[in-house]
Amino acid sequence: MNCATADLRRTESLVEIFEKRRLFLNPEFCPEDISTLTGVPLRCMERLVHSLFGMTLQKLIAMYRVQHSAELLRMGVPFEDLFRYSGFDTFGGFIRGVNHIAY
């Protein structure tokens, strides 16, 4: 399998994990889980994500969580409760995620 085909399959796996299965909503979800689920070594997946998105897997997870929290906020979920429903394990982690993505 050539690199372009391998990267396409990895990208499809990321779409499945983030867009369809929304595993980022689990506070325990981490980059190592992505590696395990895709069968791609963590270092290779980190390189792919960096080349596609210009960020680490951890930042990609945080970005999806922040986007989800923005959707919830528009639906009327109180700000102080957003972290619970967005995959962050603490309110402080939520604030750090927002700051990391926004700035």
Q: What is the pLDDT of residue 74?
A: 97
Burial 86-102 (b: 16+ CB within 10 A, else e): bbbeeeebbeebbeebe
Q: Give the chain's domains with CATH numbers.
A: 3-102 (1.10.10.60)
Place of tokens 């390189």: 47
User: Among 48-52, 56-60, 91-95, whose mean pLDDT is lowest?
Assistant: 48-52
**pLDDT band of 12, cuts 50, 70, 90:** confident
